[in-house]
Chains A and B, each alone.
Chain A
Amino acid sequence: MTSREWRKPRNKHVPVDVVSAVWATVIALTITTVATKAVGPAALGERDLPRLFTKVIELLAPAILAALIAVGTFTGADGDLVIDARAAGLAAAAAVFAVSRNSLLAAVAAAAIVAAAVRALGGT
């Protein structure tokens, strides 16, 4: 950071305790990500784990991703359940994936465009 930026911080609207939470998150996630990627190869070499253990871990990804989709689409600021433009965007993305499951770019774009269109037409 240059001294000029230091005098005029861009993010002055971000409170100090939020800033420290942000950096704590960045540092902790860096350490845990490196460790998570490394632990299998470093500890195992070529050994096998109990099958049930790996089965649970495999299902974590779909369970968590679905939870994130649900919370990110259907909850408002206070955690209340809502249906708004984001639901239309998600439906558009689902339609794209139904045609081609590898079309991440098109699906993400469709979600944004449809959500924006709903809001432009007066939706929330």
Chain B
Amino acid sequence: MRAGAPIAVASLLVGTSFGVLAEPVMGTVAPIVMSAIVFAGSAQFGALAVLAAGGGAGAAVAAGVLLNMRYLPMGISIAASTRGGWFRRGLAAQPLIDAGWAMSHRGDSRYDLPFMWGVTAVNYPMWVGGTALGVFAGDLIGEPDRLGLDALFPAFFLGLLVGEGSEGRRGWIAALLGATLALSLAPVTPPGVPVMAGSLAALIALQPRRENDVS
């Protein structure tokens, strides 16, 4: 649980940012409920970004779902460390978060799930509490843009992106291609579509790897 402390501090600040940014778009209650039951930072920020840009629920959910797609390989990676029937295995994966997942890796294909649950147990109240703090302190903080709070989204996502280091050179090519696709489409498509289109950059994985490519 102590290992989760630095992440808990980060979670409190980013949760507070989420509350501040979400309140004008989503109202008072929805952001706190969202943090409590969705509990997936990047998907929440992604969905909020679409809603804030005037996109509908469909585009917002699609952005969130696409951002959450990384939980598929992460879930698959911990599958062998779960026990019991399908329901118990699925339940054991619910406290899955990026940092806890990475920290609980014990080499080969083994994951220390009780350790991951401990990280999440520290993280969860900070994320939800931070959101509530942001929602109610938002009025004191005032105009988020004046404080540069609209720069928090990209900085936060950049942090997740550099944390994706395990994908190596192909990860960076996919990132560059995804950003280029999104920016090319942004002026001519509805909000949410550019980011979804950017996800197509992941298809470069289908290109066969050269023998000497060890990245």
Residues in chain A within 8 A of chain B (CB atoms): 1, 9-11, 14, 18-26, 28-30, 32-34, 36-47, 49, 52, 54-75, 77-81, 85-86, 88-90, 92-94, 97, 101-102, 104-105, 107-119
- Contacts A81-B187, A116-B147 known; 8 new A-B pairs at CB < 8 A: A11-B23, A25-B64, A29-B68, A41-B93, A66-B201, A70-B183, A72-B153, A89-B148
Q: Mark B49-86, 1 if CB is under 8 A from A, else 0.
A: 10101001100110111111111111111111010001
Known: A30-B37, A57-B202. A89 touches B79 (CB 8 A): no
Contact indicator B71/A90 (Cβ below 8 Å): no
Q: How far is the CA of A72 from the CA of B12 in the complex (A)?
A: 22
Q: How far is the CA of A58 from the CA of B33 in the complex (A)?
A: 29
Q: How far is the CA of A1 from the CA of B32 in the complex (A)?
A: 13
Taking CB atoms, residues of chain A closer than 8 Å to B170 are: 59
Residues in chain B within 8 A of chain A (CB atoms): 9-10, 13-14, 17, 23, 25-30, 33-34, 37-40, 42-47, 49, 51, 53, 56-57, 60-61, 63-80, 82, 86-87, 89-94, 96, 145-165, 167, 170-172, 174-183, 186-189, 191, 194-195, 197-206
Known: A25-B51, A41-B93, A115-B150. A59 touches B204 (CB 8 A): yes
Taking CB atoms, residues of chain A closer than 8 Å to B92 are: 41
Taking CB atoms, residues of chain A closer than 8 Å to B171 are: 58-59, 62
Select one of B61, B68, B70, B164 contacting A25, CB under 8 A.
Answer: B61
B105 to chain A minimum Cβ distance, whole angstroms, is 15
Q: What is the interface of chain A mostly: helix, strand, loop, or mixed?
A: helix
Select one of A9, A52, A58, A66 contacting B175, CB under 8 A.
Answer: A66
Contact indicator B75/A36 (Cβ below 8 Å): yes
Q: How far is the CA of A123 from the CA of B107 in the complex (A)?
A: 49
Taking CB atoms, residues of chain A closer than 8 Å to B203 are: 56
Contact indicator A42/B86 (Cβ below 8 Å): yes
